[in-house]
Structure 1
Amino acid sequence: MTVTDNKALIQDIMDARARRDPNPFIAAMADDFVWRITGSTAWSGEYVGKADVLERLMRPLHRQFTAPTSLTASRIIAEGDYVVAECRGNATTLAGELYANTYCFVIRMADGKLRELTEYMDTALVERVLRPPGSQ
């Protein structure tokens, strides 16, 4: 795929995420997809493989919210196999607390699939609002 194709795919994924629809994102993950979350929170670390991402990251995270997180991309930049998306996320926890974080996703693409994603965000907000994985 071209740089333009990669950027368009991420734009489509972000448009869906703005509507709280994670399915295009999940469908675009390669089976060996790797998601790295920076920082030292309970959620930080490396999730290896689509199944691991879904089981240990996405499902436990989504169980903490009244609906999937809405992500709105303010900037998408592409070069070579990489696409960078700067986003604002909004969700409400089951306890009624607003979780509004700012993200930068650095995504490596290959053959029309997401291969790697490194996530940068406000880790202090994560620590304050989210329960650790496995505590749901």
Structure 2
Amino acid sequence: MSLEANKAVVRSYFEAVNSGNCDAILALTTENFLFTTMARAPDWLQIEWGREAFSQVPPTMSQLMKAPIHLAVLNMIGEGNKITVEAETDGEMLNGRRYNNAYHFAFELADGKLHRVREYSCSYLAQSCFGAVEPGNPEASKMAD
């Protein structure tokens, strides 16, 4: 696929994440898709999710916030089947904390779909706002006090 077609797939991914559309996330990912957080600490934030688990993360996170999570794309560059994105989010948690994280995502595509995603963000902020999040099960997620 062309670089512009790959960028369009990544833009569609952010639209699916922002709308919490699990089916769209699944449609945009390969069968062996892998989402990896590049956090070094705490241990529970060193995550690898396959496509099914990852598709449940955005709606689960959004249920812990006053409004659905929204990732704003600030910059996107790419070469071949690799696209990187600088993004940010800003929202208020149900626990009153402000979740205003900055991200860098590294995407790898295969056959027009997302194959691998590595997320770099502030793990301290994620832990202090969300605690442990269990995809698809907001009741089991442990929001930080």
User: Which residue is equivalent to 1:50?
Assistant: 51
1:64 and 1:94 in contact (8 A); partners too: yes
Moved over 6 A (4+): none
Q: Does 1:30 align with 2:37?
A: no
2:20 and 2:58 in contact (8 A); partners too: no
RMSD (Å) for aligned C-alpha atoms: 2.2
**Residue deviations 1:111-133 (CA, integer Å, cap 9, x gap):** 11111100000112112222213
Q: Does the C-alpha gap of structure 1 residues 26 and 89 become closer, same or farther in structure 2, counting only changes over 3 Å?
A: farther
Q: Does the C-alpha gap of structure 1 residues 91 and 114 become closer, same or farther in structure 2, counting only changes over 3 Å?
A: same
Q: For residue 70 of structure 1, report the CA deviation from its aligned partner.
A: 0.9
Q: Does the C-alpha gap of structure 1 residues 17 and 91 become closer, same or farther in structure 2, counting only changes over 3 Å?
A: farther
1:101 and 1:125 in contact (8 A); partners too: yes
Please list every run of 5 or more consecutive structure 1 residues that lacks an aligned counterpart in the other structure.
Answer: none
2:93 and 2:99 in contact (8 A); partners too: yes
Q: For residue 43 of structure 1, report the CA deviation from its aligned partner.
A: 2.5
Aligned pairs for 1:1-136 (under 5 A) are: 1-14=1-14, 16=15, 20-23=18-21, 24-39=24-39, 40-41=41-42, 42-47=44-49, 49-55=50-56, 57-133=57-133, 134-135=141-142
Q: For residue 17 of structure 1, report the CA deviation from its aligned partner.
A: 6.2
Residue 32 of structure 1 aligns to a residue whose secondary structure is strand
Q: TM-score, normalised by structure 2?
A: 0.78
Residue 6 of structure 2 aligns to a residue whose secondary structure is helix
Q: Name the structure where strand makes up a greater proportion of residues.
A: 1
Identical aligned pairs, as a percentage? 23
Q: Does the C-alpha gap of structure 1 residues 11 and 101 become closer, same or farther in structure 2, counting only changes over 3 Å?
A: same
Q: How many residues align?
A: 132
Please list every run of 5 or more consecutive structure 2 residues that lacks an aligned counterpart in the other structure.
Answer: 134-140
1:17 and 1:69 in contact (8 A); partners too: no
